[in-house]
Amino acid sequence: MISVIVPNYNHAPYLRQRIESILGQTYTDLELILLDDCSTDGSREVMEQYRQHPKVSHIIYNETNGGIPFRQWDKGIALAKGEWVWVAESDDYCEPNFLESLLNATENTAGCTLAYTTTWWVDEQGNRMFHNGDGGTTFNLDGRDFIRRHMACANGIANVSECIFRRSAYHPSETARYEHMRLCGDWFFYVLLAEQGRVIRLETPLNYYRQHTANVSNSAERQGLTFLEGAEVLEYMTDRCGLKPADYARGWGKLWATYERQYSYPPSVRKEVRRRLAAKWPQIEAYHLIYRAKQLLRKN
Protein backbone atom coordinates (compact mmCIF):
# COMPACT_ATOMS: atom_id res chain seq x y z
CA MET A 1 0.00 0.00 0.00
CA ILE A 2 1.01 3.61 -0.53
CA SER A 3 -0.02 6.33 1.92
CA VAL A 4 -1.07 9.62 0.35
CA ILE A 5 -0.91 12.70 2.57
CA VAL A 6 -2.74 15.88 1.54
CA PRO A 7 -1.69 18.82 3.76
CA ASN A 8 -4.09 21.69 3.14
CA TYR A 9 -4.37 25.34 4.08
CA ASN A 10 -6.97 27.54 2.39
CA HIS A 11 -6.99 25.68 -0.93
CA ALA A 12 -10.72 24.98 -1.06
CA PRO A 13 -11.02 25.98 -4.76
CA TYR A 14 -8.49 23.29 -5.74
CA LEU A 15 -9.05 20.66 -3.09
CA ARG A 16 -11.69 18.61 -4.87
CA GLN A 17 -9.57 18.32 -8.02
CA ARG A 18 -6.59 17.28 -5.87
CA ILE A 19 -8.53 14.59 -4.02
CA GLU A 20 -10.24 13.25 -7.15
CA SER A 21 -6.89 13.02 -8.95
CA ILE A 22 -5.70 10.76 -6.11
CA LEU A 23 -8.81 8.60 -5.86
CA GLY A 24 -8.81 8.24 -9.65
CA GLN A 25 -5.35 6.67 -9.80
CA THR A 26 -4.92 3.50 -11.84
CA TYR A 27 -2.95 2.14 -8.87
CA THR A 28 -5.63 1.63 -6.24
CA ASP A 29 -3.92 0.09 -3.20
CA LEU A 30 -3.69 3.35 -1.26
CA GLU A 31 -4.87 5.15 1.84
CA LEU A 32 -5.64 8.86 1.85
CA ILE A 33 -4.78 11.07 4.84
CA LEU A 34 -6.34 14.55 4.76
CA LEU A 35 -4.82 17.20 7.03
CA ASP A 36 -6.05 20.78 7.40
CA ASP A 37 -4.04 23.52 9.11
CA CYS A 38 -7.00 25.54 10.41
CA SER A 39 -8.27 26.78 7.05
CA THR A 40 -10.79 29.63 6.94
CA ASP A 41 -12.08 29.19 3.38
CA GLY A 42 -14.45 26.24 3.38
CA SER A 43 -11.82 23.52 3.01
CA ARG A 44 -13.42 21.58 5.87
CA GLU A 45 -16.70 21.30 3.97
CA VAL A 46 -14.88 19.83 0.98
CA MET A 47 -12.97 17.33 3.12
CA GLU A 48 -16.06 16.20 4.98
CA GLN A 49 -17.61 15.06 1.71
CA TYR A 50 -14.97 12.30 1.69
CA ARG A 51 -15.42 11.27 5.32
CA GLN A 52 -17.02 7.90 4.43
CA HIS A 53 -14.85 7.09 1.44
CA PRO A 54 -13.21 3.67 1.96
CA LYS A 55 -9.78 4.97 0.89
CA VAL A 56 -9.78 7.84 3.42
CA SER A 57 -8.15 6.66 6.63
CA HIS A 58 -7.84 10.01 8.46
CA ILE A 59 -9.25 13.54 8.31
CA ILE A 60 -7.58 15.78 10.90
CA TYR A 61 -8.12 19.48 11.55
CA ASN A 62 -5.65 21.63 13.47
CA GLU A 63 -7.18 23.83 16.17
CA THR A 64 -4.70 26.62 15.37
CA ASN A 65 -2.62 27.34 12.28
CA GLY A 66 0.88 25.94 12.64
CA GLY A 67 2.32 28.02 9.81
CA ILE A 68 5.03 25.47 9.00
CA PRO A 69 4.14 22.99 6.24
CA PHE A 70 6.83 20.46 7.13
CA ARG A 71 5.20 19.76 10.49
CA GLN A 72 2.08 18.71 8.61
CA TRP A 73 4.20 16.37 6.49
CA ASP A 74 5.63 14.82 9.66
CA LYS A 75 2.18 14.44 11.19
CA GLY A 76 0.93 12.62 8.11
CA ILE A 77 3.96 10.35 7.88
CA ALA A 78 3.46 9.35 11.52
CA LEU A 79 -0.06 8.17 10.61
CA ALA A 80 0.97 6.44 7.38
CA LYS A 81 0.80 2.64 7.06
CA GLY A 82 2.07 2.22 3.51
CA GLU A 83 5.49 1.09 2.35
CA TRP A 84 5.64 4.21 0.19
CA VAL A 85 4.48 7.76 1.00
CA TRP A 86 3.29 10.50 -1.33
CA VAL A 87 2.88 14.06 0.00
CA ALA A 88 0.37 15.47 -2.50
CA GLU A 89 0.05 19.24 -2.09
CA SER A 90 -3.57 20.37 -1.92
CA ASP A 91 -3.43 22.82 -4.85
CA ASP A 92 -1.63 20.47 -7.26
CA TYR A 93 -3.01 17.53 -9.26
CA CYS A 94 -1.69 14.71 -11.43
CA GLU A 95 -2.29 12.26 -14.26
CA PRO A 96 -4.20 9.04 -13.43
CA ASN A 97 -1.09 6.87 -14.01
CA PHE A 98 1.20 8.91 -11.74
CA LEU A 99 1.48 6.30 -8.98
CA GLU A 100 1.44 3.29 -11.28
CA SER A 101 4.30 4.71 -13.36
CA LEU A 102 6.48 5.49 -10.35
CA LEU A 103 5.84 2.22 -8.55
CA ASN A 104 6.54 0.21 -11.71
CA ALA A 105 9.86 2.05 -12.01
CA THR A 106 10.84 1.18 -8.44
CA GLU A 107 9.78 -2.47 -8.65
CA ASN A 108 13.09 -3.79 -9.96
CA THR A 109 15.38 -1.33 -8.18
CA ALA A 110 16.64 -2.67 -4.88
CA GLY A 111 17.25 0.03 -2.31
CA CYS A 112 15.30 2.81 -4.04
CA THR A 113 14.27 5.39 -1.43
CA LEU A 114 13.03 8.24 -3.65
CA ALA A 115 11.35 8.37 -7.06
CA TYR A 116 9.87 11.29 -8.96
CA THR A 117 8.47 12.42 -12.29
CA THR A 118 8.92 15.62 -14.20
CA THR A 119 6.29 18.34 -13.87
CA TRP A 120 4.03 20.75 -15.70
CA TRP A 121 3.84 24.26 -14.24
CA VAL A 122 0.25 25.50 -14.52
CA ASP A 123 -1.46 28.79 -13.67
CA GLU A 124 -4.25 29.24 -11.14
CA GLN A 125 -6.83 28.03 -13.66
CA GLY A 126 -4.77 24.94 -14.54
CA ASN A 127 -3.54 26.17 -17.93
CA ARG A 128 -0.20 24.61 -18.86
CA MET A 129 2.76 26.99 -18.97
CA PHE A 130 5.93 24.86 -19.27
CA HIS A 131 7.44 21.57 -18.08
CA ASN A 132 10.87 20.47 -16.93
CA GLY A 133 11.36 17.39 -19.11
CA ASP A 134 9.49 15.11 -21.47
CA GLY A 135 10.92 12.14 -23.33
CA GLY A 136 14.52 12.62 -22.29
CA THR A 137 16.75 10.39 -20.20
CA THR A 138 15.17 8.61 -17.26
CA PHE A 139 17.84 8.03 -14.64
CA ASN A 140 18.44 5.61 -11.80
CA LEU A 141 21.27 6.87 -9.61
CA ASP A 142 22.98 6.02 -6.37
CA GLY A 143 21.67 8.55 -3.87
CA ARG A 144 24.99 10.29 -3.23
CA ASP A 145 25.64 10.57 -6.95
CA PHE A 146 22.16 12.07 -7.32
CA ILE A 147 22.94 14.60 -4.58
CA ARG A 148 26.22 15.56 -6.25
CA ARG A 149 24.66 15.94 -9.70
CA HIS A 150 21.23 17.35 -8.93
CA MET A 151 21.12 18.78 -5.39
CA ALA A 152 24.56 20.29 -4.73
CA CYS A 153 23.79 23.78 -6.07
CA ALA A 154 19.99 23.90 -5.83
CA ASN A 155 16.94 21.78 -5.12
CA GLY A 156 16.62 19.52 -8.18
CA ILE A 157 13.05 18.42 -7.33
CA ALA A 158 10.44 20.95 -8.44
CA ASN A 159 7.87 20.26 -5.73
CA VAL A 160 6.96 17.52 -3.30
CA SER A 161 3.84 16.46 -5.24
CA GLU A 162 6.00 14.95 -7.99
CA CYS A 163 7.72 12.35 -5.79
CA ILE A 164 7.16 9.32 -3.62
CA PHE A 165 9.54 8.02 -0.96
CA ARG A 166 10.01 4.87 1.07
CA ARG A 167 8.57 5.30 4.56
CA SER A 168 11.40 3.34 6.17
CA ALA A 169 13.87 5.98 4.89
CA TYR A 170 12.14 8.70 6.91
CA HIS A 171 13.57 9.19 10.40
CA PRO A 172 11.68 11.43 12.86
CA SER A 173 14.93 12.18 14.69
CA GLU A 174 16.09 14.16 11.64
CA THR A 175 13.08 16.47 11.37
CA ALA A 176 14.67 19.22 13.47
CA ARG A 177 17.10 19.81 10.60
CA TYR A 178 14.39 21.21 8.32
CA GLU A 179 11.14 21.87 10.23
CA HIS A 180 12.08 25.46 11.06
CA MET A 181 12.81 26.42 7.44
CA ARG A 182 10.52 28.55 5.29
CA LEU A 183 12.12 27.92 1.90
CA CYS A 184 14.71 25.12 1.91
CA GLY A 185 13.12 22.49 4.15
CA ASP A 186 11.99 20.33 1.23
CA TRP A 187 15.52 20.43 -0.25
CA PHE A 188 16.93 19.13 3.05
CA PHE A 189 14.15 16.53 3.26
CA TYR A 190 15.02 15.07 -0.17
CA VAL A 191 18.75 14.97 0.61
CA LEU A 192 18.09 13.00 3.81
CA LEU A 193 16.04 10.47 1.83
CA ALA A 194 18.36 10.24 -1.17
CA GLU A 195 21.55 9.53 0.76
CA GLN A 196 20.06 6.26 2.05
CA GLY A 197 19.53 4.50 -1.28
CA ARG A 198 18.88 4.99 -4.97
CA VAL A 199 16.87 7.70 -6.73
CA ILE A 200 14.75 7.27 -9.87
CA ARG A 201 13.52 10.10 -12.10
CA LEU A 202 10.92 9.50 -14.80
CA GLU A 203 11.25 11.95 -17.66
CA THR A 204 7.49 12.19 -18.13
CA PRO A 205 5.50 15.18 -16.78
CA LEU A 206 2.76 13.45 -14.78
CA ASN A 207 2.46 16.12 -12.06
CA TYR A 208 0.82 19.57 -12.28
CA TYR A 209 2.38 22.26 -10.07
CA ARG A 210 0.04 25.22 -9.61
CA GLN A 211 1.47 28.74 -9.55
CA HIS A 212 -0.34 31.52 -7.73
CA THR A 213 -0.33 35.27 -8.26
CA ALA A 214 0.77 35.84 -4.67
CA ASN A 215 3.92 33.73 -4.62
CA VAL A 216 5.28 33.56 -1.07
CA SER A 217 8.67 32.33 -2.27
CA ASN A 218 9.47 35.78 -3.71
CA SER A 219 9.38 37.28 -0.21
CA ALA A 220 11.64 34.52 1.08
CA GLU A 221 14.07 35.08 -1.79
CA ARG A 222 14.30 38.82 -1.04
CA GLN A 223 15.34 37.89 2.50
CA GLY A 224 18.19 35.77 1.15
CA LEU A 225 16.80 32.52 2.50
CA THR A 226 18.10 30.57 -0.51
CA PHE A 227 21.54 31.08 1.02
CA LEU A 228 20.82 31.58 4.72
CA GLU A 229 18.78 28.36 4.95
CA GLY A 230 20.50 26.70 2.00
CA ALA A 231 23.82 26.99 3.82
CA GLU A 232 22.51 24.47 6.37
CA VAL A 233 21.73 22.04 3.55
CA LEU A 234 25.13 22.60 1.95
CA GLU A 235 26.90 22.11 5.26
CA TYR A 236 25.18 18.75 5.68
CA MET A 237 25.97 17.68 2.11
CA THR A 238 29.66 18.59 2.43
CA ASP A 239 30.04 17.00 5.86
CA ARG A 240 27.92 13.88 5.35
CA CYS A 241 27.59 13.29 1.61
CA GLY A 242 31.17 13.88 0.51
CA LEU A 243 30.63 16.93 -1.71
CA LYS A 244 33.79 18.68 -2.90
CA PRO A 245 34.15 22.39 -3.85
CA ALA A 246 34.17 21.42 -7.54
CA ASP A 247 30.63 20.07 -7.08
CA TYR A 248 29.10 23.28 -5.74
CA ALA A 249 31.35 26.37 -5.62
CA ARG A 250 30.77 27.68 -9.14
CA GLY A 251 27.02 27.09 -9.04
CA TRP A 252 26.55 28.71 -5.64
CA GLY A 253 28.74 31.68 -6.55
CA LYS A 254 26.84 32.35 -9.76
CA LEU A 255 23.46 32.01 -8.03
CA TRP A 256 24.57 34.33 -5.23
CA ALA A 257 25.59 37.04 -7.70
CA THR A 258 22.38 36.58 -9.71
CA TYR A 259 19.97 36.66 -6.77
CA GLU A 260 21.77 39.52 -5.06
CA ARG A 261 21.06 41.63 -8.12
CA GLN A 262 17.66 40.19 -9.05
CA TYR A 263 16.14 40.64 -5.58
CA SER A 264 18.01 43.87 -4.68
CA TYR A 265 19.14 42.63 -1.29
CA PRO A 266 19.22 45.38 1.35
CA PRO A 267 22.60 45.94 3.06
CA SER A 268 21.63 43.86 6.12
CA VAL A 269 20.80 40.82 3.94
CA ARG A 270 23.97 41.24 1.86
CA LYS A 271 26.03 41.32 5.03
CA GLU A 272 24.34 38.27 6.55
CA VAL A 273 24.64 36.17 3.38
CA ARG A 274 28.33 37.02 3.12
CA ARG A 275 28.88 36.23 6.79
CA ARG A 276 27.15 32.88 6.40
CA LEU A 277 28.95 31.75 3.25
CA ALA A 278 32.35 33.41 2.95
CA ALA A 279 34.13 32.08 6.03
CA LYS A 280 33.25 28.41 5.55
CA TRP A 281 33.30 28.31 1.74
CA PRO A 282 35.82 30.85 0.36
CA GLN A 283 35.60 29.19 -3.07
CA ILE A 284 31.93 30.23 -3.27
CA GLU A 285 32.81 33.81 -2.43
CA ALA A 286 35.55 33.81 -5.10
CA TYR A 287 33.08 32.73 -7.79
CA HIS A 288 30.54 35.22 -6.48
CA LEU A 289 33.02 38.05 -6.99
CA ILE A 290 33.88 36.80 -10.48
CA TYR A 291 30.24 36.64 -11.59
CA ARG A 292 29.40 39.96 -9.96
CA ALA A 293 32.28 41.59 -11.87
CA LYS A 294 30.99 40.05 -15.11
CA GLN A 295 27.52 41.46 -14.42
CA LEU A 296 28.96 44.94 -13.87
CA LEU A 297 30.93 44.74 -17.12
CA ARG A 298 27.80 43.74 -19.07
CA LYS A 299 25.84 46.55 -17.43
CA ASN A 300 28.46 49.12 -18.44
- So what's the pLDDT on residue 279? 92
User: What CATH code is carried by the domain that includes residue 16?
Assistant: 3.90.550.10
> Where do the DSSP E strands lie in the chain?
2-8, 30-36, 56-61, 84-87, 93-94, 112-122, 128-131, 139-142, 163-166, 198-210
* 220 and 184 both lie in a single domain: no
* pLDDT tens-digit map of 223-261: 999 999 999 999 999 999 999 999 999 999 999 999 999
Predicted pLDDT at 217: 65
What are 162-174's pLDDT values in tens digits?
Answer: 999 999 999 999 9
Of 210, 234, 267, which closes a domain? Answer: 210
Instruction: Give CA–CA dist 253/73, Å, rounded.
Output: 32
**Same-domain check for residues 204 and 237:** no
Q: 210, 231, 253 — which closes off a domain?
A: 210
Domain that holds residue 9: 2-210
Does residue 123 sit in the same domain as residue 189?
yes
Which of 185, 210, 235 terminates a domain? The answer is: 210
65 and 135 housed in the same domain? yes
pLDDT, one tens digit for every residue, the chain (300 residues) = 999 999 999 999 999 999 999 999 999 999 999 999 999 999 999 999 999 999 999 999 999 998 888 999 999 999 999 999 999 999 999 999 999 999 999 998 999 999 999 999 999 999 999 999 887 778 999 999 999 999 999 999 999 999 999 999 999 999 999 999 999 999 999 999 999 999 999 999 999 999 987 555 678 888 999 999 999 999 999 999 999 999 999 999 999 999 999 999 999 999 999 999 999 999 999 999 999 999 888 876
Q: Structural domain tally of the chain?
A: 2
What's the pLDDT at 67?
A: 80
pTM: 0.95
The DSSP letter of residue 112 is E
Contacts of 12 (CB under 8 A, 6+ apart): 39, 41, 42, 43, 45, 46
> In this structure, are 242 and 148 located in the same domain?
no
Burial of 237 (0-12, 13-18, 19+ CB in 10 A): buried
